[in-house]
Amino acid sequence: MDPTSLRAAFGRFATGVTVITCRSADGEPHGATVTAFMPVSLAPPLVAVALTRTSRACTYLDRAPFAVNVLAADQVDVAMNFAGRPTTDPIRWAPGPTAPVLAGTAATLSCAPYRTDDGGDHLLFLGEVVAVDTTGSAPLLFSDSAFVEVGKRAAESVWAGSFDDPHSGWFDAACDFTPISTRPAPPVTAGRDRSP
């Protein structure tokens, strides 16, 4: 697989921008800009972040609490600061329930360590969310190697009312999953292609 083509394809998936914050080995606040963040589960409340194995944050997050700071649209300088291009403006830190957090974000999820998994050239850190804080600020987005802002809705609430609508619940116990087809699969015959 050509890494350049793969990176370009990954870039077509627009994401939010987060800064994962924790404490360094000497107890100081530390952060890393991460777009590879994903909500995983509501029960238990889990999130996952992927960090390059060679990053300093990887060494700090091993079995350690952390916070996911979802950056607001006006925090491009904060994103760049924790991506390795320091800003001249001071970073506004605040105490958090599990780890230091950033002020002025769109949302913050404070996490206890849950487990760490192999992710190739990355490590996948799962955290159990113990506290959340949200604001009315629009989130900062990242797409095609550029920061972008939330635009107008693509459609008028087409998701609302569907079985997967986050406003009414994710596949709750009332949902009835009926198979589309109950016809048994045809037997597999060795040496014969049964494709249609």
Tens-digit pLDDT string for the chain (196 aa): 777 777 677 655 567 899 999 999 899 999 999 888 889 999 999 999 998 887 888 788 889 999 999 999 999 999 999 988 888 889 999 999 999 999 999 999 999 999 988 777 778 999 999 999 999 999 998 776 667 777 666 666 555 555 555 555 555 566 565 555 555 555 554 444 444 4
| Span 3-149 CATH architecture | Roll (2.30)
pTM of the model: 0.74
Q: What is the spatial distance between Cα 153 and Cα 196, in angstroms, rounded to a whole number? A: 40
159 DSSP 8-state letter: T
Bridge partners of residue 18, in order along the sequence: 34, 70
Q: What is the spatial distance between Cα 58 and Cα 70, in angstroms, rounded to a whole number? A: 19
Peptide bond into 44 cis (omega under 30): yes
Q: What is the spatial distance between Cα 20 and Cα 39, in angstroms, rounded to a whole number? A: 14
Give the residue from 125, 82, 126, 120 showing the smallest Cα distance to 6.
Answer: 120
